[in-house]
Structure 1
Amino acid sequence: MPVLTNHKNTSEIPLPDNESERQEIVEEYNILDTLPEKEFDSLVELAAIVTESSMSQMNILDHNRQWTKAAFGLESGTDCDRSEAVCAHTILADENLEISDLSKDERFKDASFVSGAPHHKFYSGYPLKTKDGFNIGALCVLDSTPKELTATQKKALKTIAGEIVSRLEIRRTQKELEELNREKDHFLRVVNHDIKSPLSGIISSANYLQNVWDGDRDELNNILSMIEISGRKLVTYTAELVSNSIEDGDSRLLIDEVQVDELIHDLILIYTPLAKTKQVDITTQFKVNGSFRLDDEKFKLIISNLISNALKFSSSGDTITVEAEIIGTENRVLYCSVSDTGIGIPEEHITGLFTKNKKHQRMGTQGEISTGLGLPLVKQFVELHNGEVKVETDVGVGSTFYVTIPEEQ
């Protein structure tokens, strides 16, 4: 492995201007200290063959070390101090760094690998440049005798370096897909369990009423109450599951002329039975004239999630107020808010409110379950309209969610 024993101080080695960002990209590829992989070994061997060199390496530059992922004629899986690595100089360039005779280069002539075994003389390296322009390492070829690569050989070295980066990109994508599949499998198992339980309760209750129940009124009320609670859970889970599917697969706006007040009234009718059950009032205040251009279905999901969220954290005697106002004549803007006099949101939950963070999930005032998908979906669909969503809250007093959406032209 080529090392510079006369450069032990990392500060003596110039660093790329984007070093901190470059290091983040290195970590994203999750390649450091991994086992040998045949596809990289083969490409590194190919580099030695086409350049007629006796040795070659694929090196990744970490914070303070160079790690060799693959090698030909040398040992792989090894590392050295970054201040001693020739490839630390290669990543500073956008093109090939070639040193025909290391023993005549002032930077490297006294290095142990030049003056002693393995007596490296020739070095030629090309940076491993990602699609975002970060040099995460280098592909290099070495020899024990001085020489120069031909233009064709340099081009081949560049091509192989590009292929290595492409394989790294595929490898990273595969890892991300594997992680995504694991997350989805876990999510589906959770949803399957949470849907199966209330559904089984409903089925068994219906069977009992049909075949066993003997007419006791109190028992009937208890069974109907259980069916109602189970039904609510099913509605909540299935709605959030559909919302999650939409979030993953639909990032386009389908614009239509929408009667905002009528749409919100229709949504409130859906939630009125639940509001009556919890003894919560829903009121409206509208200042809208005519239609407004936006995505009908996504706006329904925005308002529906906000109303559902308000109901979830409201109790008997609380009030929910839905307001909508259209401002302007040409570049019009829709202002909506959903306020409640419920339990409010603790300060520690505010920062992660619009993210899929399980630690910020809370049960409703009657034990309603949430998968934490509603508010992240609201944020996504509002921002898809080039709008903004924010919240004001006071624990024990209530919360207000404000949505601002400019009209689509």
Structure 2
Amino acid sequence: MSQSTYQSPMPVNEMDRLEALADLDLDYTDLQKSFSELTKLAAKVAGTDISMINLIDMYTQWTVSNFGLDLDQMPREDSVCQHTIMQDEGFEVNDLSADDKFKDKFYVTDAPNLKYYYGLPLQTSNGSNIGALCVLDTQKKDITPEKSEMLKIIADEIVNRLRAIKAIQKLKVDLKESNEKQKRVAHDIRGPVGGIIGLARIIAEQGDENTLDEVLEFITMIQKSGHSILELADEILSADNPKKNVKLGADEFNQLLLKEKLEKLYTPQAINKQINFKVITNAETEVIPFSKNKLLQIIGNLVSNSMKFTPISGSVTVRMEIKLREHNNDLHIFVEDTGVGMDDAKKAEILSGDCKSTDGTCGENGYGFGLALVKHLVDGLKGSMNITSVQGQGTTFEIVLPQGKS
């Protein structure tokens, strides 16, 4: 894939735009079914062979739904939609092969040899363009004002549906937590309370026949049962007993599921740059649930950044583990690379949240907001971020996120 000779465009509200996308907390591997009919409708309205819904983060264009072209992702700097998110209205390219910005792109020079592009920004209520709805074809097309208006309605519906997906997920989580708490309280307290009632009945039935020693024994047993109720109450509020058959909630990952997601999302990028990419879990804690809130955004930005600064044949490794605490657990995420490394000044700049942009090892355009966004998201989750690095040898990012016990 050839490298661009121009500087990729950057919205003036880029940090706000990235925050708006991160707030949706989307799983890019799990949206195709939610939007397939809208994607197909867009192609039918435009009269094109291809349509896509693309969300654009700091480094990558994620195709969350497509019609007519099997594509999951591409580097942001290679996309046409990076120009669409700069617009308030539609962005049209009549002949991609005649435009210096796109004529050398793989989707123009090789199959499907695209020629025509028309895109509309996916704009949130705060004015952030988080991605684009686009239609494409191998032939010139005519997008009339009427067609453009219908496509705009579809683009607005996509944004509304993204917001609805987030709201539904929250409702599912709230309902599940409420139902599980009620069931657990009823189940766990039934035993000790039943024991107390049984002991009291025995004392009452035996009446004067009870000796002092027997009464004291019964009282001791009642005391133990009462104490067990208090222990159960504490457990319901704070304890987390890991089990191999833990069922994950709608707002939860464990290390095994997160590994699967990361491998699916970022292995294509690693293959493209000929980098060895691995995700390693901790066998002792790999099934313990933890909050998935913003995790894909945090780890994804770190992985993409590491791949950007790691040369061909290098490696990027994600390691995960959970440190078990008395009242809460800590999720530790390490993103290690064998890249160019950084000096102390650069580390301090990143940790201050004021990171500047530099270019990658293969000429990738640099984006200064990716690590700043990570720092912002980690701080918002009451976590911490640490960086160790040796210039010329590589960098390790460590993220620690506190987790409540379910």
TM-score normalised over the length of structure 2: 0.51
Q: Secondary structure at the match of 1:106?
A: coil
Supply the distance in 1 between the matched residues of 2:214 and 2:14 (Cα, whole angstroms): 71
Supply the distance in 1 between the matched residues of 2:122 and 2:179 (Cα, whole angstroms): 35
The Cα shift of 1:235 comes to: 9.0
The one-letter code sitting in structure 2 at the alignment partner of 1:209 is: I
The Cα shift of 1:111 comes to: 2.9
2:4: which partner in 1?
Answer: 7
The Cα shift of 1:220 comes to: 2.4
1:144: which partner in 2?
Answer: 138
Farther off after superposition, 41-50 or 132-141: 132-141
Contact 2:31 2:65 in 1 (8 A): no
Supply the distance in 2 between the matched residues of 1:132 and 1:108 (Cα, whole angstroms): 30
1:202: which partner in 2?
Answer: 196
From the superposition, tell whether residues 57 and 232 of structure 1 become closer, same or farther in structure 2 (CA, over 3 Å). Answer: same
Contact 1:127 1:139 in 2 (8 A): yes
Write the deviation string for residues 165-199 of structure 1: whole angstroms up to 9, x where unpaired: 22222222222233333323332233223422331
1:360: which partner in 2?
Answer: 327
Q: Secondary structure at the match of 2:210?
A: coil
Does the alignment pair 1:60 with 2:58? no
Does the alignment pair 1:165 with 2:159? yes
Contact 1:29 1:168 in 2 (8 A): no
The one-letter code sitting in structure 1 at the alignment partner of 2:164 is: I
Does the alignment pair 1:31 with 2:27? yes
Unaligned runs of 5+ in 1: 242-356, 362-409
The Cα shift of 1:24 comes to: 4.6
1:81: which partner in 2?
Answer: 75
Write the deviation string for residues 88-132 of structure 1: whole angstroms up to 9, x where unpaired: 221222322222232343322333433444332221111222344
Matches within 5 A, 1:211-226: 211-212=205-206, 214-224=209-219
The one-letter code sitting in structure 2 at the alignment partner of 1:125 is: G
The Cα shift of 1:46 comes to: 0.8
Supply the distance in 1 between the matched residues of 2:104 and 2:74 (Cα, whole angstroms): 17
Supply the distance in 2 between the matched residues of 1:21 and 1:226 (Cα, whole angstroms): 61
From the superposition, tell whether residues 169 and 359 of structure 1 become closer, same or farther in structure 2 (CA, over 3 Å). Answer: farther
Supply the distance in 1 between the matched residues of 2:175 and 2:3 (Cα, whole angstroms): 48
Q: Secondary structure at the match of 1:127?
A: strand
> Which of 67, 71, 85 is residue 66 of structure 2 equivalent to?
71
From the superposition, tell whether residues 145 and 169 of structure 1 become closer, same or farther in structure 2 (CA, over 3 Å). Answer: same
The one-letter code sitting in structure 1 at the alignment partner of 2:327 is: H
Supply the distance in 1 between the matched residues of 2:136 and 2:229 (Cα, whole angstroms): 66
Contact 1:5 1:84 in 2 (8 A): no
Q: CA RMSD for the aligned pairs?
A: 3.5
From the superposition, tell whether residues 116 and 205 of structure 1 become closer, same or farther in structure 2 (CA, over 3 Å). Answer: closer
The Cα shift of 1:17 comes to: 4.0
The Cα shift of 1:84 comes to: 0.4
Q: Secondary structure at the match of 2:52?
A: strand
Does the alignment pair 1:174 with 2:168? yes
The one-letter code sitting in structure 1 at the alignment partner of 2:187 is: H
From the superposition, tell whether residues 135 and 122 of structure 1 become closer, same or farther in structure 2 (CA, over 3 Å). Answer: same
Write the deviation string for residues 260-287 of structure 1: whole angstroms up to 9, x where unpaired: xxxxxxxxxxxxxxxxxxxxxxxxxxxx
> Which of 40, 46, 49 is residue 51 of structure 1 equivalent to?
46
From the superposition, tell whether residues 144 and 239 of structure 1 become closer, same or farther in structure 2 (CA, over 3 Å). Answer: closer
2:119: which partner in 1?
Answer: 125
The one-letter code sitting in structure 1 at the alignment partner of 2:185 is: V
The one-letter code sitting in structure 2 at the alignment partner of 1:119 is: N
Contact 2:60 2:76 in 1 (8 A): yes
The one-letter code sitting in structure 1 at the alignment partner of 2:46 is: T
Q: Secondary structure at the match of 1:68?
A: strand
The Cα shift of 1:143 comes to: 2.0
Contact 1:100 1:148 in 2 (8 A): no
1:258: which partner in 2?
Answer: none
2:286: which partner in 1?
Answer: none
TM-score normalised over the length of structure 1: 0.50
Farther off after superposition, 128-137 or 44-53: 128-137
1:192: which partner in 2?
Answer: 186
Supply the distance in 2 between the matched residues of 1:358 and 1:154 (Cα, whole angstroms): 56
Matches within 5 A, 1:306-317: none
Write the deviation string for residues 327-373 of structure 1: whole angstroms up to 9, x where unpaired: xxxxxxxxxxxxxxxxxxxxxxxxxxxxxx99538xxxxxxxxxxxx
Q: Secondary structure at the match of 1:180?
A: helix
1:407: which partner in 2?
Answer: none
Q: Secondary structure at the match of 1:110?
A: coil
Q: Relative contact order: is structure 1 or structure 2 higher (C-alpha 8 Å, sep ≥ 6)?
A: 2
From the superposition, tell whether residues 94 and 236 of structure 1 become closer, same or farther in structure 2 (CA, over 3 Å). Answer: farther
The one-letter code sitting in structure 2 at the alignment partner of 1:94 is: D
Supply the distance in 2 between the matched residues of 1:205 and 1:229 (Cα, whole angstroms): 12
The one-letter code sitting in structure 2 at the alignment partner of 1:198 is: P
Supply the distance in 2 between the matched residues of 1:160 and 1:359 (Cα, whole angstroms): 50
The one-letter code sitting in structure 2 at the alignment partner of 1:199 is: V
Unaligned runs of 5+ in 2: 237-323, 329-406
Q: Secondary structure at the match of 1:176?
A: helix
Supply the distance in 2 between the matched residues of 1:55 and 1:234 (Cα, whole angstroms): 62
> Which of 144, 151, 154 is residue 148 of structure 2 equivalent to?
154
Supply the distance in 2 between the matched residues of 1:94 and 1:133 (Cα, whole angstroms): 9
Q: Secondary structure at the match of 2:32?
A: coil
Write the deviation string for residues 43-74 of structure 1: whole angstroms up to 9, x where unpaired: 11111111122211111223322122222221
Contact 1:125 1:138 in 2 (8 A): yes
Q: Which structure would you say has the larger Rg?
A: 1
The Cα shift of 1:35 comes to: 6.2
Matches within 5 A, 1:329-344: none
